[in-house]
Amino acid sequence: EKKYDYLIVGAGLFGSVFAHEMTKLGKKCFVIDKRSHLGGNVYCENNEGINVHKYGAHIFHTNDKKIWDYVNQFATFNNYINSPLSLSKGKLYNLPFNMNTFYQLWGTKTPEEAKAVIDAQIEKYGVKSPKNLEEQALSLIGKDIYETLIKEYTEKQWGKKASELPAFIIKRLPVRYTYNNNYFNDVYQGIPIGGYNTIINGLLEGIETKTNVDFFSERESLSSIADKIVYTGKIDEFFDYKYGALEYRSLRFENQWHEMQNYQGNAVVNYNDSEYKFTRIIEHKHFEFGTQKNTIITKEYPENWDKSKEAYYPINNDVNQQKFKQYKEDALALKNVIFGGRLAEYRYYDMHQIIASSLKKVEEMHKKNLTI
Ligand code: FDA
């Protein structure tokens, strides 16, 4: 008899939800993380009362009532609505592209006027079969929006010219013919009061956890203490990169403390122009309507990834997908290891999707157990 039913590698949302649900079902779980804290990428660092989103801005949003009710067990959400601005060539524009943006660009006041401008530009600059991101964007939205709000931002994000990026990166460019700056279309949205750590602490309450433990530095002994392993780290690392490393895009965060109450008047301001090497500035206090005397901002710099950096965005090209397929086959052959979460599935997931996928995994395991 092993000491634990599950060893959970990674205390992010996937691992924490899994541990919580399995514990409720009477299983004994042990959660480890190589970082010095729990929570994975949703972790917030409290800095003089301001919750700093340490691994990038996190706004919770979902259309799924079940997931919304689920997270509301652990925290109350405020009524924050994400409404980013974009600074381009000295002027500020509202996002997502909506009637406010069109007014700022062209002075158009009615949906009909705005639509006429966009349609005429698509007609003039669009191409039949777009071969790269630039052609794709021009065909979907025309020249002004592309050049003012998309081109340079996207080039910084990916570190490549828009004319050299694949068209599929942009599938659709939603435009809204209403004066509505709400970035998300979802029914439920907000920031947990007290920050995301409140949710993580609620999920892991009463469960054995240990931070600063890298699974690979004690692989054998850790593998022997539980019947099953839930692995939420990088799938290629689990298999010692035998098919090669999966590629990512990384980010560097530069935090600045300012002795002023309000730096930019909004939580998120994008910087479109290439002269700024960062893509956006986050002012964390505005996620929680903070009234502290000082403020902390984060400049977000996209970066090339290597093994010494945090892996943020999977690079979904054929080469990487092919490698991932091979790793996935090997993973499926291991009956006592469950692979889950954004790194083990090599996929960009929003928080609500990760919670849903973890709950689904628990249900699958539970059903299997009942039939044995
Ligand atoms: P996560 O990365 O959180 O957890 C994995 C854990 O495993 C980490 O803590 C890691 O340290 C640990 N680990 C890995 N290898 C290990 C090893 N060998 N030993 C021990 N531990 C190990 N979503 C959303 O809904 N709204 C938003 O606004 C945003 N914003 C956003 C911004 C940015 C910049 C990014 C990159 C992502 C977002 N997201 C988001 C997505 C969100 O971050 C994501 O859905 C979840 O954090 C994923 O949770 P996981 O548990 O899968 O991974």
ipTM value for the complex: 0.99
Top pLDDT among 270 and 316 is at 270
Phi/psi at 334 (5° precision) = -90, 110
Asked whether residue 175 is domain-assigned, the answer is: no
Mutation test of ligand 1: which of 17, 18, 42, 58 has the most ligand atoms closer than 8 Å to its C-beta? 58
Domain that holds residue 43: 4-81+188-245+314-371
* 106, 140, 169 - which closes a domain: 169
- Residue among 152, 237, 300, 345 flagged as catalytic: 300
Phi and psi at 236, nearest 5°, equal: -70, -35
Q: Is 372's pLDDT higher than 70?
A: no
The mean per-residue pLDDT over the stretch 221-241 comes to 97
Question: Quick check: is 348 catalytic?
Answer: yes
Could you give the CA distance from residue 71 to residue 190 in angstroms, rounded to a whole number?
A: 11
Q: How many domains does the chain have?
A: 3
Residue 178 counted as domain residue:
no
Distance CA 330, CA 339 (A): 11
* pLDDT at position 367: 87
In a domain, 182, yes or no: no
In this predicted structure, what is the pLDDT of residue 371?
A: 60
Q: For residue 31, what pLDDT is reported?
A: 98
CA–CA–CA angle 40, 42, 48 (5° rounding)? 115
- Tens-place pLDDT, residues 87-142: 999 999 999 999 999 999 999 999 999 999 999 999 999 998 999 999 999 999 99
d(CA 227, CA 143): 58
Q: Single out the residue in 116, 142, 169 at which a domain terminates.
A: 169
pTM across the whole model: 0.96
In a domain, 86, yes or no: no
* 15 and 103 both lie in a single domain: no
Q: What is the pLDDT of residue 140?
A: 94
At 174 the pLDDT is: 87
Q: Tokens for 284, please give them.
A: 């964390």
Which residues fall within 8 angstroms of residue 230, CB to CB, at 6 or more apart? 6, 7, 8, 9, 10, 15, 18, 337, 338, 340
For 188, the 3-state DSSP assignment is strand
pLDDT for res 369: 77
Selection from 106, 90, 284, 66 nearest residue 195 by Cα = 284
How long is the chain?
372
Per-residue model confidence as pLDDT tens digits over 154-182: 999 999 999 999 998 888 888 999 999 99
At 280-322, the pLDDT tens digits run: 999 999 999 999 999 999 999 999 999 999 999 999 889 999 9
222 and 211 together in one domain = yes
Is residue 174 domain-resident?
no
Residue 176, in any domain of the structure: no
Instruction: Give 26-83 pLDDT, tens digit per residue.
Output: 999 999 999 999 999 999 999 999 999 999 999 999 999 999 999 999 999 999 999 9
pLDDT tens, residue by residue, 194-207: 999 999 999 999 99
pLDDT value at residue 45: 97
Do 17 and 60 sit in the same domain of this protein?
yes
Per-residue pLDDT band for 185 (boundaries 50, 70, 90) equals very high
Candidates 207, 193, 93; CA nearest to 150 is 93
Please indicate, yes or no, whether residues 253 and 269 belong to a single structural domain of this protein: yes
Cα radius of gyration (the chain): 22
> Other CB atoms closer than 10 Å to residue 7's CB: what's the count?
23
- Of 45, 342, 352, the one to substitute when testing ligand 1's pocket (max ligand atoms within 8 A of C-beta) is 342
pLDDT at residue 47, rounded to an integer: 94
Claim to verify: residue 118 and residue 258 sit in the same structural domain: no
In this structure, the answer to whether residues 318 and 236 fall within a common structural domain is yes
What phi, psi does 99 have (nearest 5°)?
-55, -35
Pocket of ligand 1 (CB under 6 A): 9-15, 32-35, 40-42, 56-60, 214-216, 232-233, 251, 312, 341-343, 349-352, 354
Does 20 lie in the same domain as 49?
yes
With cut-offs at 50, 70 and 90, classify the pLDDT of residue 368: confident
**In this structure, are 34 and 68 located in the same domain?**
yes
